[in-house]
Amino acid sequence: MVQLPEWNLCTGCGACSCVCPKNCIEMKQDKEGFLRPFVDKELCVSCGRCEQICHVLVKQKEKKEKPIAYAIRHNNDEILKKSSSGGAFSVFADKIFEKNGVVYGAVYGSDWTVRLTRAKNSEELEAMRGSKYVQSMAGEAYLKAAQDLEDGLSVLFTGLPCQIAGLYAFLGKDYSNLFTVDIVCHGAGSPGLFQSYIEDIEDKERKKVIRINHRDKKDGWSELIPIKMMRETEDGKKEYIPAFEDPYLYAFVQSMIVMPSCYHCQYACVPRIGDITMGDYGGLGVIEPTNIYCNKGISQILVNTKKGKVFFEQCDMVCEERPLRECMMFNLNLWKPAKKHAQRDQLFQDYTELPFRELAKKYMRMSTKMKIMRKIKQGAEKIEGAHAVSKRMLDFNIKNGALENLDDIIKRIEKLQQL
Ligand SMILES: Cc1cc2nc3c(=O)[nH]c(=O)nc-3n(C[C@H](O)[C@H](O)[C@H](O)COP(=O)(O)OP(=O)(O)OC[C@H]3O[C@@H](n4cnc5c(N)ncnc54)[C@H](O)[C@@H]3O)c2cc1C
């Protein structure tokens, strides 16, 4: 019988189900609502293909080059508005379309599950924009991307770092026409729990939810503005809810509803797995002055390979090289996994027993006292400005020991060869 990784190590990338010659590995939601492989023991012939391509079981090649850090943003304000941070994804996608290539990214299905799909042009790209803080299904995209690569098309593959690792393991080799972009990741939220969240809204509103945006920018994008969830129902009603008032977003930000494997993610490290890494730029200009600060969104980019560098230099955007230290000080998930919330396991024990509304009341909300404190703090922050907020965040990280081994890590990176 094949031995796939333990349930708390598997990232659910789905590569195993794609290579199984007997089609006996199905990706299904587990008791916590996460996608993972289930092997049909009756059909399995123990050929071991699934074990051989599993990125958790087979160690991936380490990157040996020193990344270069940038702050960037798209130079089209409309696209910037639709993007979660600085629109880096669209910058890279535009370049690939110019080469008549294809782009892989995440879209919602009609049942609010998320999967990686393929786009051939900017119309098809539209649905990929925006962070979906939910575990996505990658498997089918691996099969299609492999075909595109063999056909000689330029392929931009974006995904969570574990999905990029899954792709490399699945392909078994690198291709000169493949450009991978991994996303700085706080963890992948439970698809089952997300579906329950949507059902609960529909039940309360007695209307279908037609659009969700986990990172709406209606009020702008900066350290001063909390992340907002936008929910639109079929009657055209839109609600904008700050992260600390929306149960799903609150629990996600608190690392309460992510996959068990996320808490010891082996890809939350620098150098990173993709040719390029993209994330949100917090704390821009705190370590060194900047000329490109804007409150519509800034992406943090690490260029990790020579291939990534050549590609990046062809792209058209507003761009500034930044100290790697600044990126790492403000974006902990770039180099360390999210910390497990103390109530995480309890929440998932109740997940099968309690309706979403009860679960949200019990775990997924701030106390009224904390909400009031938060509002007072936000008022003060508005007066102090974005930089003061970043500096306080930094002090908080230092005090908590979150940056303890940062200097050693940076020293190690400095010794790597230049790109
Ligand atoms: C689950 C998750 C956790 C994240 N955590 C952090 C973090 O801790 N720190 C940080 O700096 N940034 C984080 N991000 C990344 C950030 O929110 C932006 O997605 C990223 O900066 C790209 O922004 P953009 O403006 O370039 O792209 P957009 O145009 O908004 O494009 C979004 C990109 O994310 C991809 N994507 C969206 N949802 C998923 C998904 N569920 N699975 C796989 N790919 C997806 C899309 O395919 C596209 O490539 C996270 C994103 C996700 C999806």
> What's the token pair of residue 244?
């600390």
User: What is the residue with the minimal CA distance to atom 3 of ligand 1?
Assistant: 185
* Closest among 262, 186, 193 to 227, alpha carbons compared: 186
> What's the token pair of residue 215?
């990172």
278 by DSSP, 3-state: which?
strand
User: What is the residue with the minimal CA distance to atom 20 of ligand 1?
Assistant: 279
Residue-wise pLDDT tens digits, 87-140: 999 999 999 999 999 999 999 999 999 999 999 999 999 999 999 999 999 989
Residue given tokens 């393929």 in the structure block: 118
Task: Give the per-residue pLDDT at 114.
Answer: 98
For residue 91, give the ligand 1 atom closest to its CA.
Answer: 26
Task: Give the per-residue pLDDT at 61.
Answer: 78
Q: How much is the average pLDDT of 135-150?
A: 97
pLDDT at residue 312 tops 80 = yes
Q: How much is the average pLDDT of 234-247?
A: 94
pLDDT at residue 369 tops 90 = no
Q: Does residue 285 contact residue 181 with C-beta atoms inside 8 Å?
A: no
Residue-wise pLDDT tens digits, 187-216: 999 999 999 999 999 999 999 999 999 999
d(CA 310, ligand 1 centre) in Å: 23
d(CA 344, ligand 1 centre) in Å: 23
d(CA 159, ligand 1 centre) in Å: 8
Q: What number of helices (H) and strands (E) belong to the chain?
A: 16, 14
351 by DSSP, 3-state: which?
helix
For residue 90, give the ligand 1 atom closest to its CA.
Answer: 29
User: What is the residue with the minimal CA distance to atom 47 of ligand 1?
Assistant: 105
d(CA 395, ligand 1 centre) in Å: 26
Task: Give the per-residue pLDDT at 266.
Answer: 95
Task: Give the per-residue pLDDT at 184.
Answer: 98
Which amino acid is residue 81, in one-letter code?
A: K
d(CA 283, CA 224) in angstroms, rounded, equals: 11
DSSP-derived pairing of the beta strands 209-213 and 238-242: unpaired
Q: Ligand 1 pocket check: which of 183, 184, 256, 336 to mutate, most ligand atoms within 8 Å of Cβ? A: 183
Residue-wise pLDDT tens digits, 248-305: 999 999 999 999 999 999 999 999 999 999 999 999 999 999 999 888 999 999 999 9
Residue-wise pLDDT tens digits, 31-62: 999 999 999 999 999 999 999 999 999 987 78
Instruction: Mark out the alpha helices in 120-271 (DSSP H runs).
Output: 122-125, 139-150, 161-171, 191-205, 247-253
CA 77 to chain CA centroid, Å, is 23
The two most distant CA atoms of the chain are separated, in Å, by 66
Measured in degrees and rounded to the nearest 5, phi and psi for residue 204 equal -70, -45
Q: Which residue has the higher pLDDT, 309 or 378?
A: 309
pLDDT at residue 331 tops 80 = yes
For residue 215, give the ligand 1 atom closest to its CA.
Answer: 17
Question: Domain limits of the chain?
Answer: 61-419
Q: How much is the average pLDDT of 233-243?
A: 95
d(CA 131, ligand 1 centre) in Å: 4
For residue 214, give the ligand 1 atom closest to its CA.
Answer: 17
d(CA 109, ligand 1 centre) in Å: 17
d(CA 173, CA 16) in angstroms, rounded, equals: 17
Q: What percent of the chain has pLDDT over 70?
A: 100
Average pLDDT, the chain: 95
For residue 183, give the ligand 1 atom closest to its CA.
Answer: 15
pLDDT at residue 381 tops 80 = no
d(CA 192, CA 197) in angstroms, rounded, equals: 9
d(CA 182, ligand 1 centre) in Å: 9
Q: Ligand 1 pocket check: which of 131, 277, 397 to mutate, most ligand atoms within 8 Å of Cβ? A: 131
Q: How much is the average pLDDT of 56-82?
A: 92
Task: Give the per-residue pLDDT at 378.
Answer: 79
Measured in degrees and rounded to the nearest 5, phi and psi for residue 63 equal -80, 140
Listed in order, strand segments (DSSP E) in 194-325 are: 209-213, 228-233, 238-242, 276-280, 299-303, 318-322
d(CA 279, ligand 1 centre) in Å: 7
d(CA 84, ligand 1 centre) in Å: 7
Instruction: Ligand 1: list residues with CB < 6 Å.
Output: 83-90, 105-106, 114, 128-134, 136, 158-160, 183-186, 188, 278-280, 299, 331, 333
Measured in degrees and rounded to the nearest 5, phi and psi for residue 105 equal -160, 180
pLDDT at residue 3 tops 90 = yes
Q: Which residue has the higher pLDDT, 91 or 396?
A: 91
pLDDT at residue 224 tops 90 = no
Measured in degrees and rounded to the nearest 5, phi and psi for residue 291 equal -110, 0
Task: Give the per-residue pLDDT at 372.
Answer: 85
DSSP-derived pairing of the beta strands 178-183 and 276-280: parallel
Task: Give the per-residue pLDDT at 62.
Answer: 80
